A and B are shown apart, each in its own frame.
Chain A
Amino acid sequence: QVQLVQSGAEARKPGASVKLSCTTSGYSFSGYFIHWLRRAPGQGLEWMGWVNPISGGTEYARKFQGRVTMTRDTSISTAYMELRSLTSYDTAVYYCARVYGNSPCDYWGQGTLVTVSS
């Protein structure tokens, strides 16, 4: 069965960085882009960007450009998202999700809580 398993909860101080992982199984990793999204407390869902599993190419939401890097390791079917210069506004649950072509997110990871606090 398709699974996306994310790394565990993280706590950081303002100004720090965090790198999250999303390990996939049950499907061909190269066939689906991995998108990253987040949901802050009391807020809605926010799309952050995607990584192409074949080329490693990326597209980021303008809001995160310069502060986010999405990568992948095809040998272990895992995608990564690093977010830098964290502030309290980055406190959120971060999700990875797979997307086929011009389709919506059909399978999601369980989410990773990132807490940014001094």
Chain B
Amino acid sequence: EIVLTQSPGTLSLSPGLRVSLSCWTSQTVTSTYIAWYQQKPGQAPRLLIYGTSTRATGIPDRFSGSGSGTDFTLTISRLEPEDSAVYFCQQYSRSPFTFGPGTKVEIK
């Protein structure tokens, strides 16, 4: 099983700032198979990024993804109040399709 680790666990930041969230995989994962999701309280997860760097339909361009091998990053270039959420990375290269524990982003 591929284990995903995310850092940091929680962030509290002001609007307008740039933030980078990290995700590491326990084995090399082809960049095609890394996704990022956003989940707000009481809502289902929403797909933000797939294939490491491709934005899903309707996702603002302030969200971007990068990385390769075992090290992947989600960047939010200018934080908005509505970005307050938990962000999960996922690998869908190999079953079981595992997720990281999540990074909680709080907007001050």
Interface residues of A (CB under 8 A from B): 35, 39, 44-47, 59, 61-63, 95, 99, 102-106, 108-111
Contacts and interface: CB of A to CB of B under 8 A. Distances in A.
A104 B90 contact: yes
A44 B100 contact: yes
Interface of B: 32-33, 35, 37, 39, 44-47, 50, 56, 88, 90, 92, 95-102
B44 A44 contact: no
B95 A44 contact: no
Nearest to B45: A108
Residue among A46, A62, A104 having the largest count of chain B Cβ atoms under 10 Å? A104
Contact of A105 (B45, B95, B100): B45
B50 A104 contact: yes
A45 B45 contact: yes
B47 A44 contact: no
A6 B54 CA distance: 28
Given A61-B95, A99-B92, 14 more contacts: A39-B39, A44-B99, A45-B39, A45-B90, A45-B99, A45-B102, A46-B99, A47-B99, A103-B92, A104-B47, A104-B92, A105-B37, A105-B45, A106-B56
B88 A44 contact: yes
